[in-house]
Amino acid sequence: GPGVLTRTLLNAGVKVVALESNLAFLPNLQSLENSLDGQLKVIYGDFFRLDPLVAGKLKPPAMCSDKLFETMGVAAVPWRADVPVKIFGILPQKKERNTLWRLLFALYECSSIYRYGRVELNIFISEKEYKVLTAKPGEGRAYQALTVLWQVGCEIQLLHMEPWSSFLTNLKSGGLAVAKSTWLPNDHLCLVRLTPRQNLFTEGLKPTSSSTFIFMVKQCFAKPRSRLTDRLKSWSLHNGGKLLRALEIPKNAETRNLYPEDYRRLFEALQNSNMLTETWFHDEVLESIRNINI
């Protein structure tokens, strides 16, 4: 892009590592790097092509997060420690939803960038996707599995909204393509801060069980108007009514009306009651992960 974020961070006195995926822009950035006495480090790479699921040696600008963090000089810290690094960027509009899912899996599995701790993302996303991430129970089509999982996993803060007119939107000029939306407002790009929660992982929810949690939530939203008791029965959990009473969740509650924390409590209760086995949904979970990361 035009380097607005990079210039803003440099002007604020922040030490910046810039990932540039376009070889044509590297010479100017490297010239700037040489003039700033260590404040800027430029790397040929693409943040949104970190750790792709491909065999063999990676071809730049794709790269491994291990190599990136080693180059940056950032060491891994415990999950409950302070944020080790802050990342700024703009999500690729063509793959925005898929990128959000990939980051979500990495977050819950503590893989890729999240092997280094609670990495904070400060990213521009479309207004329609921001509305999805911050939707409330019962808000029609906006309240989705993606909503629940990001709200359970992160604190979500809106930092700034910028009209699309501020950005080049003509593909021929190399600008951003405005994502069309007929059911949610989409007049802005939104700078959103996603900070992983310190208490995300407990005895019930761990990185090793997180894929099952993600798949459970996705299954509940496959038919968002369905009742939770019906979904539990479809999983052969015949004492689901008793479980819901213990959690103080109404028996006739629809899956789209549960709060994100309700889904977490439900999963932890299922884990603690041994209703879920290690092989539960195993094949389906693996297939879901594979499809998201392609």
Q: What residues are designated binding site for S-adenosyl-L-methionine?
A: 1, 20, 46
Q: Distance (Å, rounded) from C-alpha 193 to C-alpha 1?
A: 20
Q: Distance (Å, rounded) from C-alpha 168 to C-alpha 177?
A: 8
Q: Are strands 40-44 and 120-126 parallel, antiparallel or unpaired?
A: unpaired
Taking alpha carbons only, the member of 148, 147, 152 closest to residue 128 is 147
Which 8-state DSSP code applies to residue 60? T
3-state secondary structure of 130: helix
DSSP β-bridge partners for residue 194: 121, 156
Q: Are strands 154-163 and 188-196 parallel, antiparallel or unpaired?
A: antiparallel
Contact status, residue 13 vs residue 102, Cβ threshold 8 Å = no
Residue positions in the annotated binding site? 1, 20, 46
Torsions phi, psi for 205 (to 5 deg): -115, 115
| 240: exposed, middle or buried (Cβ count in 10 Å: 0-12, 13-18, 19+) | buried
